[in-house]
């Protein structure tokens, strides 16, 4: 199969060639014809499948006809990094078409965004909070939008953005083509899809198995030996570009500092940084100035850096989806990669779930003096964390809870956002989680600081 079958305009075909895409990925093969026909799409696929080009290419083809200089496509994404990534893909694919896009998100000045939009753009790629700011300020309107894309809808839901999405929908004409992409389908997203999609074509790409080109290794290790183990592995392994995931912003920052001191070109990407610093870290990693990037899940979501040879789970994530997403940063577009996961006793349950999803066991690796024998069988025992165990867990960088490795009580809902250490439920003020999440998301999009998992 080749891209010629879609009969793209030569200016779009030139963009495909510039990106060196030869064969459509499965999601592109399924979604492009339906989008070209003007159908709504419900796409069950995650980043790493070629999803962005799957919606950008047919939208560009449709935008070639019709007026220029008006906002005719709105793409809504949960994070600034993903918005930037989509905008940058559009810029490459649309280079010859004269179609322009702008990324709109909080944490940076509004005026340059307004100036760019007033200069004439056809595509706006936006995060919900800042977009609503602009819409209520009436700096631009969405009356001429023909295509709406909601990307990573499940992640927007996790971040408390669903009420904002519904508010944004009120600014749209209502008869636009709508494409909704989500890696998972929680009830709330299904309801949203039922409300806003008109007889959608369902495009599902098996998403739950990380790419087969990534070799998986598991190291059983106590918390206090993780950094020594990491340095040992890094010294012995030939690594091109390495992405390390930690559970909290603080750990990302401090680990990057320790690696820098140890002589590695390392930096961190986490929500304590200003947007400018985040972009500098990401660009430096993309250019090869930094060989090691230590990141939290939220900051790294959607990042597309080619040539990542290693992903290291310094802390095991809480959900299989987050694991799949992390691992998807390497082995992209059929390149090979290695993924190392550091797990302690408390990670037993999630390791079991991950291995069930992988369909095989990760290879166990022992480094005498650093790793230890742990059998990841289903442990027993559960309960709310005590004040003492919470403080101990906080020191170790993970929320206290059931001894089976999954958080309890207020932590029980899998959070894809960066962990903000919290006291046990009884030590916290009462209030609706939805309200807190929403407030945090608004604060994040407006102030540029991440207040996650409030």
Binding site for ligand AMP (CB under 6 A): 19, 21, 23-25, 28, 47-53, 304, 332-333
- Name residue 27's beta-bridge partners: none
Smallest distance from the beta carbon of 207 to ligand AMP, in angstroms? 11
Smallest distance from the beta carbon of 22 to ligand AMP, in angstroms? 6
Nearer to ligand AMP among residue 53 and residue 230 (C-beta): 53
CA distance 249 to 256: 11
Nearest residue to 25 (alpha-carbon basis) of 44, 64, 5, 53 = 53
Say whether 83 sits in a helix, a strand or coil.
helix
Nearer to ligand AMP among residue 28 and residue 216 (C-beta): 28
Nearer to ligand AMP among residue 24 and residue 317 (C-beta): 24
Nearer to ligand AMP among residue 74 and residue 440 (C-beta): 74
Smallest distance from the beta carbon of 162 to ligand AMP, in angstroms? 23
Ordered DSSP codes for 258-318? HHHHTT--EEEE-TTS-HHHHHHHHHHHHHTS-SEEEE-HHHHTT---TT--EEEESS--S
Smallest distance from the beta carbon of 341 to ligand AMP, in angstroms? 22
Degrees to nearest 5, angle at CA 193 with 187 and 195 = 105
Neighbours of 13 (CB within 10 A): 16
Nearer to ligand AMP among residue 286 and residue 436 (C-beta): 286
Smallest distance from the beta carbon of 24 to ligand AMP, in angstroms? 5
Smallest distance from the beta carbon of 149 to ligand AMP, in angstroms? 12
Q: What are phi and psi of 296, to 5 degrees?
A: -100, 165
CA distance 75 to 156: 13
Nearer to ligand AMP among residue 17 and residue 360 (C-beta): 17
Nearer to ligand AMP among residue 95 and residue 391 (C-beta): 95
Long-range contacts for 258-264 (Cβ within 8 Å, ≥24 apart)?
258/227, 259/230, 259/231, 259/234, 259/292, 259/294, 262/231, 264/234, 264/291, 264/292
Smallest distance from the beta carbon of 35 to ligand AMP, in angstroms? 14
């Amino acid at each position: 199969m080749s891209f010629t079958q879609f009969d793209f305009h030569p200016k779009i075909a030139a963009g495909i060639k510039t990106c060196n895409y030869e064969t459509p990925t499965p999601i592109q093969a399924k979604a492009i014809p339906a989008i070209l026909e003007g159908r709504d799409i419900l796409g069950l696929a995650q980043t790493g499948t070629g999803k962005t080009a799957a919606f950008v290419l047919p939208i560009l083809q449709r935008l070639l006809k019709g007026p220029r200089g008006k906002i005719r496509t709105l793409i809504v994404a949960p994070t600034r990094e993903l918005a930037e990534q989509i905008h940058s893909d559009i810029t490459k694919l649309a280079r010859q078409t004269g179609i322009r896009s702008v990324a709109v998100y909080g944490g940076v000045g509004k005026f340059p965004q307004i100036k760019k939009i007033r200069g004439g753009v056809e595509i706006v790629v936006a995060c919900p909070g800042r977009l609503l700011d602009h819409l209520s300020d009436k700096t631009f309107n969405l009356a001429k939008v023909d295509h709406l894309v909601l990307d990573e809808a499940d992640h927007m839901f996790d971040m408390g953005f669903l009420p904002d999405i519904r508010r944004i929908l009120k600014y749209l004409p209502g008869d636009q083509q709508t494409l909704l992409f989500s890696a998972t389908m929680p009830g709330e997203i299904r309801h949203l899809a039922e409300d806003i999609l008109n007889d959608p074509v369902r495009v599902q790409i098996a998403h739950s198995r990380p790419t087969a080109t990534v070799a998986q290794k598991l190291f059983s290790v106590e918390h206090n030996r993780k950094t020594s183990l990491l340095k040992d592995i890094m010294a012995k392994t030939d690594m091109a570009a390495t992405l390390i995931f930690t559970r909290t912003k603080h750990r990302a920052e401090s680990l990057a500092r320790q690696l820098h001191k140890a002589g590695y070109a390392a930096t961190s990407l986490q929500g304590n940084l200003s947007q400018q610093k985040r972009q500098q870290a990401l660009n430096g990693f993309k250019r090869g100035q930094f060989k090691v990037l230590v990141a939290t899940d939220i900051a790294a979501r959607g990042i597309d850096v080619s040539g990542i040879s290693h992903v290291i789970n310094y802390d095991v994530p809480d959900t299989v989806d987050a694991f799949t997403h992390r691992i998807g940063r390497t082995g992209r577009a059929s390149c090979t990669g290695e993924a190392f996961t550091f797990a302690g006793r408390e990670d037993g349950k999630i390791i079991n779930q991950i291995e069930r999803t992988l369909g095989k066991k990760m290879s166990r690796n022992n480094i005498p003096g650093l790793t230890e024998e742990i059998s990841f069988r289903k442990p027993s025992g559960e309960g709310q964390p005590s004040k003492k165990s919470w403080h101990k867990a906080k020191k170790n960088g993970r929320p206290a809870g059931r001894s089976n490795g999954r958080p309890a009580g207020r932590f029980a809902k899998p959070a894809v956002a960066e962990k903000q250490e919290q006291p046990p439920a009884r030590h916290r003020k009462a209030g609706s989680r939805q309200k807190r999440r929403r407030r945090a998301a608004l604060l994040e999009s407006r102030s540029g600081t991440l207040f996650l998992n409030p």
